[in-house]
Amino acid sequence: MAQIKSSYATSNQPITITLNSLANGAVRASTAVDNSANCFLDALVQLKITTGASAPSGDKNVLVYACGSADSGQTYSGAATGSDDSFGAAAGQLIDNCKLLGVVTVDAASETFESDLFSVAGAFGGVLPERWGIIVKNQTGQALGAGCGAFYQGVFAQAN
């Protein structure tokens, strides 16, 4: 009898999103990741957030959301565009219509914080969309520093 096990694609696949110097209160969306060829069952997302020289204040966190498309990238949740771009209500975009992946807590100046792993499929009820991306909201009380980034690793099922 065959066993089904998880199998992992190449690690550290970059997600295109400009996070360096993201202002406090600002929101940024990533370029969409196209899953139509790989057909991953899930994508594990992780972020590195570097704080500026001032001590974080306020909520001291970075919120990470997922957006997805069910029409080959024509329409994304929250009215995201599928491009690395600012995100906000002025453009008719609503982060409340996207799925919260998780929170990255920061508590010190000039440090790099690694997030937990976030399951994109988990945010969409267990199914990874054909095209998906992340949206990041800075709530650290300061602009983010240099060295920020996001990456993912695809997950397959493998029969033995």
Averaged pLDDT for residues 107-119: 97
Helix (H, G, I), strand (E, B) or coil at 43: strand
Separation of alpha carbons 129 and 147, rounded Å: 28
**pLDDT, position 78:** 96
**pLDDT, position 143:** 97
User: Residue 149 has which token pair?
Assistant: 């980034």
- State the pTM of this model: 0.95
Residue 153, H or E segment:
strand 149-159
**pLDDT at residue 112 is higher than 90:** yes
- Name, in order, each residue with C-beta under 8 angstroms of 110's C-beta and a sequence gap of 6 or more: 50, 51, 52, 53, 145
Assigned CATH class of 16-159: mainly beta
What proportion of the chain, given as a percentage, has pLDDT over 90? 93
**pLDDT at residue 1 is higher than 90:** no
- Name, in order, each residue with C-beta under 8 angstroms of 154's C-beta and a sequence gap of 6 or more: 8, 9, 10, 13, 35, 38, 40, 42, 43
Beta strand pairing status for 118-119 and 42-50? antiparallel
pLDDT digit string (tens) for 27-36?
Answer: 999 999 999 9
pLDDT digit string (tens) for 134-143?
Answer: 999 999 999 9
**pLDDT, position 90:** 83
**pLDDT, position 6:** 92
Averaged pLDDT for residues 114-137: 98
**pLDDT at residue 20 is higher than 90:** yes
**pLDDT, position 2:** 84
Contact yes or no for 137/29 (Cβ under 8 A): no
**pLDDT at residue 123 is higher than 90:** yes
Contact yes or no for 9/38 (Cβ under 8 A): yes
Rounded to the nearest 10°, the torsion over CA 3, 4, 8, 9 is 110
